[in-house]
Amino acid sequence: MGLELPKYPEMEEDQVFNFTDSEIVSHVKQALASVLSGDNNSYNQLVGVMHHSKHLAPDEVALLETTLKALAGAVSSIDITHHDSLLSAIFCMSMWNYGPHVADALAELIVSLAISNGKYLDLCLGMLVSNFTPPPYFLDKLKMPHGLERKGKVLSRVHAAFKKIADYVPLAPLRLLTIVLQGMPTIYHKDRAIVIYVENMLKLESGEIGELVGSTILMAVVDRLIELDVEIGWDAILQDDFSKGIFEMELEDVDDIEESAEPDVGEFRLSRKSLAGNSIAELLDNLLVLTFEHLESCEREGRLAKVFETLLQSFRVTVLSAYKSKFAQFVMFYACALDPENCGMRFATMLADLFVQDSQPQPTRMSAVSYLASYLSRAKFLAASSISSMLKGLVDWCLEYCEAHDADINPNAHRVFYSGCQAIMYVLCFRMKVFVDVPRLKSELLIPLEQVLKHKLNPLKVCLPSVVEEFLRQAKAASLFTVCKTFIFDGLLESELSRAFGGLERLDTFFPFDPCLLKKCDSFIRPMFVFWSMVKPAYDDAFDDDDDDDGSSDDDLVQDFVNENEDIMNDEFGKSFDEQGVDMDEFDYALKKMSITPKATSNYKFGGRFQEPARMPSRIRPSTSPESL
C-alpha cells in the first residue's frame, strides 16, 4: 500500500513520495535509534507531530495518523529512558480531540505499547483511563448531540482497547482495576467529571472483562454514593417541626407545593426545595440514575442475580454501617423492584437475619430492622405472603424475647426488642388491610403480637408515640384487639422513652425508605413505591357512613373519572413497572383536571378492584374529620 507523505524538511519541496508501510516503520525506527547515537533531529520531528493536536488541517491529520501507525509497528524500538519525551507526548493525547481515524491509530498504538513491555502496561492503562473523561472544554458539549456521538465513539474505542490488552496480557484487568479505582475523581471536582467516570466504570462492569473487575467496581461506586450521601447533611433537608405526626403529609409533587398557598405542615418537613440548589444532591441524583439504568440493563441481560449479590454485600459493608444513609439505599430498592421474587426476598431475609443474630452489634441490628420495616411498608412489588412471612418471623422473635426476659419496662436494656416491636407496628400501619382480610393471618400473627404488646416490657409505651398512636387507631378500627390502658400522646412524635431506646443515633426515628427527595431518582422509584396517601387506613371506613351530598357528588365525579380512564387504570393494575407505557404526566394531568378531592380517595379499595394511581394530589390527611375537606 502506498501512502503520500507531505513534506518533510529533508525532502525536496516539489517531489511527492510514495512509501510503503514497512518503509515508514523503518524510517521511524531509524529516527528512534538515532537518539541513542545523539542525533535527535528526526526524533524531535516525530515528537513535534505528536504535540500538534489542535486545529489540524487535513494533511496534518493524515501525517499524525501515519506517524501513529508507524509507531505502533516500531514499539519494540521505543526505549523508556531515551524516548521519554515521545512517550509523554503519546500519553498526554486525548482521543476526544481527534476524528475516528486518528483515534483508531492512537488506540492501536497504545495497545501495541501496552503488550510489548511490562513497563508500559500501567502507563498505557492509565492513559486509557484518563480518556474516560473529556478535556475540560468538551464537558459542556456532552449534552449536545454531536458531543454525545463523540462520546460514544471514544468510549467504545477505549473499552475495546481494554479488551484487546486483556486478551494478550491476562493479568491486565487486575492492574486496570487498581488504576481505575485510584483515578476516581473526588466528589469535590468542580467539573462533574465523576458522572462520566462512573458511567465508564459501569460500562466496564457490563463489558467483556466485567467478570474479573465487576464486583470491585460496583462496590467502589456504592462507596462513592455513600460519600456523597454523607455530605448532604440532615439539616439541609430537615426542618424541626416535631408537632405533627409522621403520617400527616408526604411530599409527592413539588409542583403542588409551589402552587398552593397553604403553609407546609408535617413533621420532618422533608423539603425538596431546600435540596434544589444543592449541587452535591444533584450529583448524587445523576449517579443514582446512572446506577438504576445500569441495573435495568443487567436485568435485561439476565445478570441481575449475580450483580445483586455484590450489591447486597456492598450494602452490608457500606450502606448499613453509614450513619442514617439518606438516598444511597434506593439502589437496593430499585434492584429489588426489578426482581421481586428473588432479589426482593433476598434483601428482606438478609435484613431479618441480621436482626436476629445475637453476635451482631446493637446499632447494626436496630438499623437492619429499621430498613426492613421501611422496606416492607414501601415496596409496592412485594407479595402479601412475603410480607406476612417476614412479619411473622419478627413477631415470633419478639415473643421469644418476651418469654426469655421477664422484666419491666427499660428502654436502654432492651433496645433491640423495642426497635423490633416498632418495626412490626410500622409495617402494620401500612399493610393492615392486607392482614385484616385474611382470617388465618389474623390468628397466626395477631395473637402472638397481642401477647408481645401486652407484656411487662410495655413496648407500646416505649416505641415512637406517633407510630403507636396510628397503629392503635387502626387496630381498634379493624377490631384486632383492644388495649385496656389508654395512651395519651397528644400527637407527639417522640417521647423521652423512645429517645432512650433510640439512643444517640436516634434509631427510633429512622425510616430509610421514606420518599426519595432527589427528583430524577424519584421518577424511577415512584411506580413501585407505596405512599402513605395510597394506604387506606382501616378507620376511614367509619367515615363512609357520614357521607353527605358533597360526598356523593364526589362519588359521581370519581365514577366518571373511572369510566373515562378505565383503560389507563387497568393498564396500571398488575403491570410491572418497566412495562408501564402510560405516560405519567398525561395521567397526572387527567387527574388534576378532574380535581378529585382527598375525601374521594377513601372510596378506592386498597388492593381491591384497581390499584391507586401512583400519583395522587398531595395533602392527604387520613386522620382528619370530614369537615376539613
Cβ 442 to another protein shortest distance, Å: 41
In 3-state terms, the chain is what percent helix, strand and coil (to 5)?
Answer: 65, 0, 35
In the complex with another protein, which residue's Cβ is closer, 318 or 618?
318
Cβ 127 to another protein shortest distance, Å: 16
Identify the residue whose cell numbers are 484487568. 173
301, 280 Cβ separation under 8 angstroms: no
In the complex with another protein, which residue's Cβ is closer, 23 or 282?
23
In the complex with another protein, which residue's Cβ is closer, 71 or 369?
71
Residue 25: CB atoms within 10 A of its CB come to 18
Cβ 170 to another protein shortest distance, Å: 5
In the complex with another protein, which residue's Cβ is closer, 6 or 170?
170
In the complex with another protein, which residue's Cβ is closer, 175 or 433?
175
* Cα–Cα distance measured from residue 173 to residue 166, given in angstroms and rounded to the nearest whole number: 6
Of 203, 202, 206, 183, nearest to 193 by C-alpha is 183
Cβ 206 to another protein shortest distance, Å: 24
Give the residues across from 17 on adjacent strands: 5
83, 32 Cβ separation under 8 angstroms: yes
Q: Which three cell numbers stand for residue 47?
A: 515528537
CA quadruple 427, 432, 434, 436: dihedral, nearest 10: 140
* Cα–Cα distance measured from residue 203 to residue 225, given in angstroms and rounded to the nearest whole number: 17
In the complex with another protein, which residue's Cβ is closer, 25 or 335?
25
User: Coil, helix or strand for 495?
Assistant: coil
Cβ 27 to another protein shortest distance, Å: 14
In the complex with another protein, which residue's Cβ is closer, 314 or 618?
314
Q: Which three cell numbers stand for residue 369?
A: 430492622
428, 373 Cβ separation under 8 angstroms: no
Question: Which distant-in-sequence residues (6+ apart) come within 8 Å of 296 by Cβ?
Answer: 338, 578
* Cα–Cα distance measured from residue 480 to residue 435, given in angstroms and rounded to the nearest whole number: 10
Cβ 8 to another protein shortest distance, Å: 23
User: Coil, helix or strand for 284?
Assistant: helix
Q: Which three cell numbers stand for residue 213?
A: 473487575
Cβ 117 to another protein shortest distance, Å: 7
In the complex with another protein, which residue's Cβ is closer, 110 or 493?
110
In the complex with another protein, which residue's Cβ is closer, 167 or 566?
167
Cβ 200 to another protein shortest distance, Å: 23
Cβ 171 to another protein shortest distance, Å: 6
In the complex with another protein, which residue's Cβ is closer, 206 or 360?
360
Residues engaged in binding another protein (CB under 8 A): 22, 25, 73-76, 115-119, 121-122, 167-171, 174-175
> Is the dihedral angle over the CA atoms 287, 289, 291, 293 positive or is it negative?
negative
Cβ 597 to another protein shortest distance, Å: 58
Q: What is the DSSP string of 186-246?
A: PTT-TT-HHHHHHHHHHHHHHSTTHHHHHHHHHHHHHHHHHHHHHHS-HHHH----TTS-T
Cβ 19 to another protein shortest distance, Å: 16
367, 510 Cβ separation under 8 angstroms: yes
b/e for 523-554, b at 16 or more Cβ within 10 A? ebbbbbbbbbbbbbbbbbeebeeebeeebeeb
User: Coil, helix or strand for 19?
Assistant: strand
In the complex with another protein, which residue's Cβ is closer, 3 or 33?
33
Identify the residue whose cell numbers are 387502626. 474
Burial class (CB in 10 A: 0-12, 13-18, 19+), 1: exposed
Cβ 21 to another protein shortest distance, Å: 10
In the complex with another protein, which residue's Cβ is closer, 175 or 224?
175
State the chain's maximal CA–CA distance in angstroms: 108
Q: Which three cell numbers stand for residue 348?
A: 428482606
Cβ 116 to another protein shortest distance, Å: 6
In the complex with another protein, which residue's Cβ is closer, 144 or 171?
171
b/e for 182-206, b at 16 or more Cβ within 10 A? eebbebeeeebbbbbbbbbbbbbbb
What DSSP state is assigned to residue 184?
P
In the complex with another protein, which residue's Cβ is closer, 1 or 504?
1
